[in-house]
Structure 1
Amino acid sequence: MRRYARTLVGLALATTMVTGTAGWASGSAQRALTGPPPGTASWRADHSQGALPDPERATPAEVARFFRGLTARQREDLAVRHPLVVGNLDGAPVALRYQANALALRANHDPRYAHLDGGRGRQILAFDPRGRGQVAEVFGDLRSARRVAVVVPGSDIDAGTFDRTSDVYGTPAGMAKALYARTGPGSAVIAWAGYTTPVGLGVDAATGTLAEAGADRLARFTDGLAADGVPAPAVFCHSYGSVVCGLAASRLRVRDLVVLGSPGMRADSAAALHTRARVWAAKDATDWIGRVPNVRVAGLGHGPDPAAPEFGARRVPAEDARGHTGYFAPGTDSLRAFAAITEGTAR
C-alpha cells in the first residue's frame, strides 16, 4: 500500500507539471558546469608571482590573502594575462574582477555575449563563457555598500537570458535592478547567474542534481564576498533558485534568506535548513508554482512549501504580485518588503 501511495504521489507531481505549467516534456537535460574556470591550466603554469592560488583548491580566504600581498601593478598584470581566471576567482578583489571580466568580454567574439560588454560601464563580477554561459553583475557600489543583496534565479536563466527584455522581472538583472532602485544609495545588489539552471520544466527542474552543484558554487561565492570584506548579504532565491539556496543554506554567509515562488527547499522546515540567517518566504495566489505538489518521492519534488505557516519562515506579503515572475515588479508589497529586508529594517 505504501509503495502504491508513493507511485500515485509521483504521478500527481508529474501530471501537474505537464498540465499546469509549460510542460514536462519541454525540458532538456543539462549537465552542471563544475570545476575551475577556463584558463586554469595557463594560470597554474604561471610562476611570475610565485605559486598562484589554485582556482580549484584554494579557499576564497586564501585567494584574498594572496592578492593582498601583491602590488597594484602585480594584480593588474595577472588580470591582463589571465582574465577568465581572475574574473571568476572568488576572493579576488571586486574591482580587479570587474577589470578582468571587461577584458574577457572584449576578447570574446561569441555574439551571445555581446550585450554583456564590460566596456559599457557594466560591473561584471563573473563571466564564464562555457556551456550556456554564466554571469554575475553588480548594481551599486559594492565596495562602499553598507547593505548588500544577492539575487539567485531559477530555470531557463543563463548568460543569454540574464537580462532579456521580455519578462524582465523574471530575470536576475531585472530583479536586481528593481531592488536596487527601491533601496538606492548605501546598498548594492548582485544578480548571480552562477550555476547551470534547468531548461524548461523537465526532470532537471523536479530533481536536485543541478541545485546541488549550484549550492556548492553559491556557498563559495558568498565566502568570496566575505573574504573581500563585503557585508553579509540578504539572498533572494526565486523558483528553482530556492532549491539551490535550501541545499546551500547551512554554508551560506548571509544574514537573510528569502525565497519567492518556491517549489520547496529540500528541507522539512526553516529550522531544518540549519542556518543562522532569518528565513523569509513569499508566494502570491496567482503563481502557478502553487499547483506543483509539495512532495519529495524517489528523488522527484522538493518538499514542503516554505510559504506555508507550518514551515516556520517569516511571511513576506505578496498579495498584489502577479504570476510567477511578478514579485519584484515596482509598486508591489513584495518589492517593498524585499527592500526593507535588504536595508535591515524588516521585522
Structure 2
Amino acid sequence: MGLGSWKRRGRRTLVAAALTTTIVAGTAGWASGHRQSPLTGPPPGTASWRADTTLGTPLPDPATTGPRRMAAFFRGLSASEQHTLAVRHPSVVGNLDGAPVPLRYDANSRALRVARSEARADARDTGLTPQARTTARVLAERCAELLAPGRRILAFDPRGRGQVAEVYGDLRTARHLSVIVPGSDIDLGSFDRTSDRYGTPTGMAKSLYKAARGRTAVVAWVGYTTPVGLGADAATGRLAEAGAPRLTRFVQGLTATGVPQPAVFCHSYGSVVCGLAAPGLAASDLVVLGSPGVRADHVADLHTRARVWAARDDSDWISKVPHVELFGLGHGADPADPSFGARRVPAEDAKGHTGYFAPGTDSLRAFTDIATGVLS
C-alpha cells in the first residue's frame, strides 16, 4: 500500500472515530439511564445446590465445573437420581450446561411454574408498589406463555431483564444444529414478540427451521444481557465481553451431550458477542448478519476453525455505522467487506436491518444451505 493510500485510510479512520465519538456523546445522557448490568455467574439457586448432600456426596459446583465434566456427572446418575435433582433444584438443572436436554426441559417447566405462582402472588400483593405489581403480572403472563404445550425451553432465568433459550426440532436426533444469537433490545419479554418478527431470535429460528424442513434443529438463545437502544452499551464491547463466555459455555454444554457442532447465526450486536467468543466456540460455521463489527480486523484474527460468513443488505442502516474501534468505541472492521476475508452471503432480497430471515429471501436460502451442510 502506497503512502497516499495510508494517508487516505488514516483520514477515514479519524473521521469515522470522530463520528463514533459524536454519536455516543450525543446520546450519553439518554444512554446513561439505560446502562445495563450484565447477568453473570452460575444459575439461580446455586447456593442451595451446593449445600445439597442428598446423593451422599457434594454436587459439582456450577461455577467451577465445565460442561464436559458436568455431562459426565449426569451420565453417572440413575434416571431417578437425575429426576430428584431436577425436582429439588429446577432453576439450576434447567440452566446447567452439560445436563441432559430432556432433563433441562423438565426442570425449566418446573421453574416456570414456580415463577408463575410467585409472580401471581406478587401481582395481588397490595403491599407492593403499583409498578412492582404490574411487573409481576407481566412476568406471570410470560411464564404462562412459555408453559404452552409443545414449547421446549432449554434455559430460563427471570433475573434482571430475563434470559431464555427455546428449541425448535429434536436435539437428540438432529443431524444438524443451528443457534441464533440476537442483538440489542432482546430479553425474556421481547425474544418472541410479534412485531418485527424476523428481528427476534424466535422469528429467525422458526423461519430457518421451516425453510430447512426439519433438517436442522434450531435454538433461539437469549443467554446474555443485550444493550437497550443505541447508546454507549451498543457502541462498546462491555456487554459482549460478559456474554461471550456464556455463549461458549452454552455451546460446549450442547456438544457435551452429543449434539452436533452448530452453525451459529449472529445478528447485529450479537455478532460482537460471537466475535469475542470465536476462539473457544465449538461451531462448524459462524454467520454474522447486519454486523457492526466483530472486534477483529480480519477473519484470521478470530482464531476459529469455523467457516466464517457475512451478510449485509444495501438497505441495512448498519452500513452507516463507522466500522472502527478506538478508545473502546466501535467494533472494528466491516465483516461484509471483501477485505475482511469472510465468505459472502447474498442478501439482495433482504430488506432493512431485520429482514435477513424473511421467507423467500436469498439470504434465508443461503442460511438454510449453511445450516444443513449444503454450503461449505
TM-score of the pair, normalised by structure 2 = 0.88
| Counterpart pick for 1:55 among 55, 58, 62 | 62
User: Could you tell me which residue of structure 2 aligns to residue 82 of structure 1?
Assistant: 89
**Which amino acid letter does the alignment assign opposite residue 104 of structure 1?**
A
1:323 aligned residue (341, 349, 352): 352
1:40, CA displacement in angstroms?
Answer: 0.5
The total of aligned residue pairs comes to 343
How many Å separate the matches in 1 of 2:13 and 2:282? Answer: 36
1:181 corresponds to which of 187, 204, 210: 210
- Any idea what SS the aligned residue of 1:32 has? coil
- Checking the alignment, whether the CA contact within 8 Å between 2:186 and 2:226 is kept in structure 1 is yes
Distance verdict in 2 for CA 1:236–1:88, change over 3 Å: same
- AA aligned opposite 1:107: V
Residues 210-289 of structure 1 aligned to structure 2 (within 5 Å): 210-289=239-318
Q: Report the alpha carbon displacement of residue 16 of structure 1 after superposing the two structures with TM.
A: 5.3
Q: Which residue of 2 aligns with 1:104?
A: 111
1:15 is displaced (CA, Å) by: 4.1
* 1:25/1:334 CA distance change after superposition, 3 Å: farther
1:95 match: 102
Q: Residue 122 of structure 1 is aligned with which of 130, 151, 160?
A: 151
Q: In 2, distance between residues paired with 1:6 and 1:307?
A: 17
TM-superposed deviation, 1:286 = 0.3
Task: Compute the displacement of 1:297 (Å).
Answer: 0.9
CA contact (8 A) 2:86 2:93 kept: yes
Q: Compare CA radii of gyration and give the structure with the larger one.
A: 2
> What secondary structure sits across from 1:108 in the alignment?
helix
- Is 2:200 aligned against 1:171? yes
Displacement of 1:7: 6.8
**Between 308-317 and 41-50, the greater mean CA deviation after superposition:** 41-50
State the secondary structure of the residue aligned to 2:218: strand
Q: Within 2, Cα distance between the matches of 1:345 and 1:209?
A: 36
2:166 aligned with 1:137, yes or no?
yes
8 Å CA contact retained: 2:269, 2:292:
yes
CA distance in 2, matches of 1:45, 1:142: 31
Residues 104 and 80 of structure 1: CA distance in aligned 2, closer, same or farther (over 3 Å): same
Q: Distance in 1 between matches of 2:340 and 2:12?
A: 23
| AA of the residue aligned to 1:225 | L
Unaligned runs of 5+ in 2: 1-6, 120-137
Alignment correspondent of 1:161: 190
The root-mean-square deviation of aligned C-alpha atoms, in Å, is 1.9
Alignment of 1:42 onto 2:48: yes
> How much has 1:9 moved relative to structure 2?
3.6
Q: Which residue does the alignment assign to 2:39?
A: 33
Residues 45 and 267 of structure 1: CA distance in aligned 2, closer, same or farther (over 3 Å)? same
Rate the CA distance shift 1:115–1:297 in 2: closer, same or farther, 3 A.
farther
TM-score of the aligned structures, taking structure 1 as reference length:
0.95
